[in-house]
Amino acid sequence: MTEQTGRTGRITPRANSQASAGELLALVRSGRATTRGALQQATGLSRATVGQRLDRLFRAGWLREGAGGPVDSPLGGRPSITLEFDDEHAVVLAADLDTRHARAAVLTLTGEILAEHTGTLVVEDGPDAVLGELGGWFAGLLDRAGRDAGEVCGIGLAVPGPVDRDTGRVVQPPIMPGWDGYDIRSRLGRAVTERTGAGPVPVLVDNDANLMAYAEQRAQHPGVSAFVLVKVSTGIGAGVVVDGAIYRGVDGGAGDIGHIRVPEGARALCRCGSHGCLAAVASGGAVARRLTEAGVPAASGSDVRHLLAVGHPEAVALAREAGRLVGDVLATVVTLLNPGVLMIAGDLAGTPFLTGVRELLYQRALPRSTAHLQIVTSKLGERAGLIGAGALVVDHLYAPERVEERLLALGV
């Protein structure tokens, strides 16, 4: 099929008789063509061929007919029946790991949360124990959602470390001891099968900031072609979405800004083993440590969040100072990427920290780089990573080339 790339970077079919059933599904899912007539116009396929390929998607249970849409013919007539992606034929399991707690859910194929659980899960306990526990969580969630294990089509996992996309393994994660190079896909897939009875399904793993950025950009800023999210919690990481796709770098290390060296941290030891990292002086963990030293007990970034919520003066002052340090680094990020939106998320994503970021960012970055920049906070909140993990699975499974493989496997 001949294709062209539009301003958003998404593939737009040109008229060509080779458009596949998967490409028709992509047009419907994106909303670019939602009637038979519109699909004919977008692809150049005949009415009969469109009908044949849509029939395969109907038999697979992936499409359904909706209400009457616009009239396809310029001569008028009855409204055309619209086509919709059927998000009820399967469900996705998704989880978002932090350092001391996790969130898991059963989601529809369009991202609606059917059942959700949040609880303590300490990443330092190691991958075998943590992923085994997640399998048990998913079993309970499927029961609560009233969905069968056979309906699970994939599993998505967000982790607080850099991930090699090809292998799904974390690579030298500073705050995930024991996880480096571990086969997360196999262990989580096995845990889900053992606890739920679900058959083998794809398991996709990505960095939490990447998946948060993916979810937030799609939900709140779909027209923004360059989007950056910075998560400030136990550590500091950034997710970058360019033309609708996550930018990961060569081996998943893009966005790891918490380990950029800053002069203010010259004597601070980071969890990565180096001195001077941004995360060692400006993360939620770093602020918690300084509060504890000042006589205000705080064990983690989440404790800092609670103190900020009640306006604790020492926490407010330290959060603003941390924001200034991060804003200084983000001046370089903004100059390099020229994003339309910079989103601050995580435990410190409140007014004091945001004020500090703005102070240094606008002071240090060129006016040209910030002329069209919006600095905002998260809209999806603590569910962003979860929703992003689910979306990653769905986009993987229903990509045009994979649709063809799956249809053939189903015999339709």
Q: Looking at the structure, do residues 164 and 246 belong to the same domain, yes or no?
A: no
The domain boundary, picked from 85, 115, 146, lies at: 85
Instruction: Provide mean pLDDT across the span 343-369.
Output: 95
Q: Looking at the structure, do residues 95 and 165 belong to the same domain, yes or no?
A: yes
Q: What is the pLDDT of residues 30-86, one digit of tens each?
A: 999 999 999 999 999 999 999 999 999 999 999 999 876 555 555 455 567 899 999
Q: Looking at the structure, do residues 262 and 159 belong to the same domain, yes or no?
A: no
- Domain of 137 in residue numbering reads as 91-209+385-410
One-letter amino acid of 329: V
* pLDDT confidence tier of residue 3, bands split at 50, 70 and 90: very low
**In the predicted model, is pLDDT for residue 337 greater than 90?**
yes
Domain total in the chain? 3
Contact 13, 1 (CB under 8 A): yes
* pLDDT confidence tier of residue 7, bands split at 50, 70 and 90: very low
* pLDDT confidence tier of residue 8, bands split at 50, 70 and 90: very low
Q: What is the pLDDT of residues 78-114, one digit of tens each?
A: 567 899 999 999 999 999 999 889 999 999 999 999 9
Mean pLDDT of the chain: 92
Instruction: Provide mean pLDDT across the span 197-218.
Output: 96
Give the residue from 218, 216, 192 showing the smallest Cα distance to 203.
192
- Global pTM reads 0.90
- Distance separating alpha carbons of residues 293 and 13, to the nearest angstrom: 60
CA 119, 125, 129 angle in degrees (round to 5)? 75
Backbone dihedral region for residue 243 (phi beyond 0: left; psi -120 to 50: alpha; all else: beta): left
Instruction: Provide mean pLDDT across the span 315-337.
Output: 97
The domain boundary, picked from 44, 66, 85, lies at: 85
Q: What is the CATH number of the domain that holds 66?
A: 1.10.10.10
Q: What is the CATH number of the domain that holds 136?
A: 3.30.420.40
Question: What are φ and ψ of residue 300, in 5° steps?
Answer: -160, 175
* pLDDT confidence tier of residue 383, bands split at 50, 70 and 90: very high
- The span from the first CA to the last CA of the chain, in angstroms, equals 21
pLDDT confidence of residue 13: 47
